[in-house]
Amino acid sequence: MDSFQADRAPDKRYRTSPLNGLWTHAKGGFYHDGRFGTLLDVVNHYDSCFSLGLSDQDKSDVVEFLKPLPQPTNNNDE
């Protein structure tokens, strides 16, 4: 895992985004810089970085858990 975001924080710790912000960057890709095209790509990244040992079913379960989280609405009525 790169330290780009952690290095920017005053306490040098990485802060994860809240789950309700999951879809904020989905249009350009997931993760803080949009480098992952799918939620599964993100799950695979964390599985490898933290040696989580997730099975394919575990990964699928995580992705399915995340999918129904609220997505931002597009208010063009203004």
Average pLDDT value for the chain: 79
Tally the C-alpha atoms within 13 A of residue 25's C-alpha that lie toward its C-beta: 15
Instruction: Give the residue-averaged pLDDT of 44-66.
Output: 95
| 37 or 61, greater pLDDT | 61
Vertex 13: Cα angle to 17 and 40 (nearest 5)? 40
pLDDT of residue 54: 97
In this predicted model, what pLDDT tens digit does every residue of 58-76 receive, in sequence order?
999 999 999 888 776 665 4
pLDDT of residue 71: 72
